[in-house]
Amino acid sequence: MIVVSDTSPITSLLSIDLLEILEKMYQRVIIPDAVYKELVEEHITLPAFIKIEHVRDKNYIDALKKELDEGEAEAIVLAKEKDADILLIDEKKGRRIAEREGIAIIGLIGVLLAAEKKGFIKSVIEVISLLHKKAGFHISESLRDHIKRISRK
């Protein structure tokens, strides 16, 4: 499975010391240079399962940068170039544009729900609460209620 990630899912999990969830779920996650640069501003090193790859289509990146930041634009282009199975991305505008470009997406909540189902975490709600406290991760009450209804705990 080819998985490309934008910055925020990785940063969020790093902030609560649960980045290993991505490794357990996907074994390998690919990031473009711009995402790497964003990540190393706050985190000195990244684990070996996160691989950096260069994006080739600079014109495509420039076109997307009219709507998105550089990290999101490069992640979308890299996902297209690698014919990725999934792009990890949380920002609404980035998600919408990725879908418009024909890329399958999943956000951090979706990853956490799948990780709970596989037994990699005990409770999505507990992880979301930790993300809220340590990373400023916000979700609506209606989404929180929905997650409580569909999660196993």
Q: 95-134, pLDDT tens digit by residue?
A: 999 999 999 999 999 999 999 999 999 999 999 999 988 8
Mean pLDDT to the nearest integer, 31-55: 91
Across residues 55-71, what is the average pLDDT?
Answer: 95
**Count of domains forming the chain:** 1
Residue 136 clears pLDDT 90, i.e. is over it:
no
CA 37, CA 135: separation in Å to the nearest integer?
19
Q: Is 0.75 topped by the overall pTM?
A: yes
On average, the pLDDT of the chain sits at 92
Q: For residue 149, what pLDDT is reported?
A: 84
Q: Is position 128 within any domain? A: no
65 belongs to a structural domain: yes
Confidence of residue 152 (pLDDT cuts 50, 70, 90): low
> What average pLDDT does range 63-69 have in this prediction?
95
Is the residue at 101 inside a domain?
Answer: yes
Instruction: Give the pLDDT band (50/70/90) at residue 29.
Output: very high
Question: How far apart, in whole angstroms, are the C-alpha atoms of residue 59 and residue 125?
Answer: 41
- pLDDT tier at 153, thresholds 50, 70, 90: low
Q: Does a structural domain hold residue 71?
A: yes
First to last CA, the chain: 28
Residue 119 inside a domain? The answer is no
What is the CATH number for 63? 3.40.50.1010
34, part of any domain: yes
Q: Is the pLDDT of residue 87 over 60?
A: yes
Q: Is residue 136 part of a domain?
A: no
Q: Is residue 113 part of a domain?
A: no
Tell me the average pLDDT across 78-90. Answer: 97
Q: Could you give the CA distance from residue 84 to residue 63 in angstroms, rounded to a whole number?
A: 20
Average pLDDT over residues 34-45: 87
Residues 6+ apart with CB under 8 A from 141: none
Give residue 9's domain range.
3-108
Q: What percent of the chain has pLDDT over 90?
A: 78
Spatial CA neighbour of 97 closest among 36, 1, 6: 6
Residue 137: the pLDDT is 82
